[in-house]
Amino acid sequence: MQTTISDAVKIFVPAVTAFLVGLAITPVVTHFLYKWKLWKKTSVAKTTDGRDAVISSKLHGDEVRKTPRMGGIIVWGSVLLTTLLMAGFAYVLANDTTIKLSFLSRNQTWLPLFTLILASLFGLIDDALVVAGGGTFIGGGLSLRLRLLIVFVLSTIGAWWFYAKLGISSISVPFDGVLSLGIFFIPFFIITMIAVYSGGIIDGVDGLAGGVFIMMFTAYAIIAYSNNQIDLAAFSMVIVGGLLVFLWFNIPPARFFLSETGTMGLTTALTVIAFLTGEVLVLPIIAFPLVITSASSIIQLASKKLRNGKKVFIVAPLHNHFLAKGWPVGKVTMRYWVFSALCAVSGVVIALIG
């Protein structure tokens, strides 16, 4: 692997720029969110299986805290503005430095940027319905079925783009070379994106989701850098820059939540980045906090259906179980950060040496 100082600069200058852009837009976004009282007006009333959500209502009394949703705007807004800023400098000034700093490229960053923004906008619609108290789900918002349909459509478009436009139909298998999937690459891509999106329910505890996503995107930035995919590495770190701003204001007590406009965009973009690097098989390791979060909810539902209402966890998903056990929010958050860092490092090591 050949690297240069200019490659490192290309990665970290946009990341720092995204952080500064995020700091600049946060007061405006925060003022808007609080002015229009964009938080849930009622707490969680029902669980996914239709039962009364007694414990969840106690743990997440958002209508009492009056903490706005839509904090994800800070993340994808920072990413979009930084991308346009760097591309604009390259176009207007057109010198070696500005051209080098622009990371917008057809083969590396168009698709993850498109996915991030489009999915985030769909998530924004869900958030708007939640705070308005309308929509097709209890408490407002798009129904889970409709949100899954949206992710399915996005994943289908992404899978087709990879297969037909980029000519990608294989994945890297750690320690065993490359596996060609042929046409089966398309359903594999779709299933992976939906699975990663399902882990987005990790959002909801102050500081938790922001720190976990930072670890995951940093891991894939390192993998992309090792593949000499410098534009993709820069894009991944720009997302990290936006997430750092979000986390700055989201640590307890949170100023706002990531919510659907954040998690839908981030989970789908993460999937695309993983496939672009070819190292998608280490994604379950790097994103293991998302895996166990989603799995805990599935296990809980299955247990209640098959065991006459008996539960495995006090409440699902898993981080809520720890809160219900009496762990302080800070303990849950920081232990998840530590665990996420270990998972990210493990995934990167496997990808690099495998």
Reported as a single tens digit per residue, the pLDDT across 197-210 is 999 999 989 999 99
Of 218, 200, 185, give the one whose Cα is nearest residue 347.
Answer: 218
Q: What is the mean pLDDT of residues 243-254?
A: 94
pLDDT tens for 102-146 read 999 999 999 999 999 999 999 999 999 999 875 555 457 899 999
pLDDT tens for 165-176 read 999 999 999 999
pLDDT at 86: 97
pLDDT at 316: 93
pTM to 2 decimals?
Answer: 0.94
255: pLDDT strictly greater than 60: yes
pLDDT at 244: 98
Cα dist. 200→74, 175, 231 in Å? Answer: 17, 30, 26
Ordered by start, the domain boundaries in the chain are 5-353
pLDDT at 44: 59
Query: What is the overall mean pLDDT for the chain?
Result: 92
| Banded model confidence at residue 340, pLDDT cuts 50, 70, 90 | very high
Which phi and psi angles does 258 have, rounded to 5°? -60, -50
2: pLDDT strictly greater than 60: no
pLDDT at 83: 98
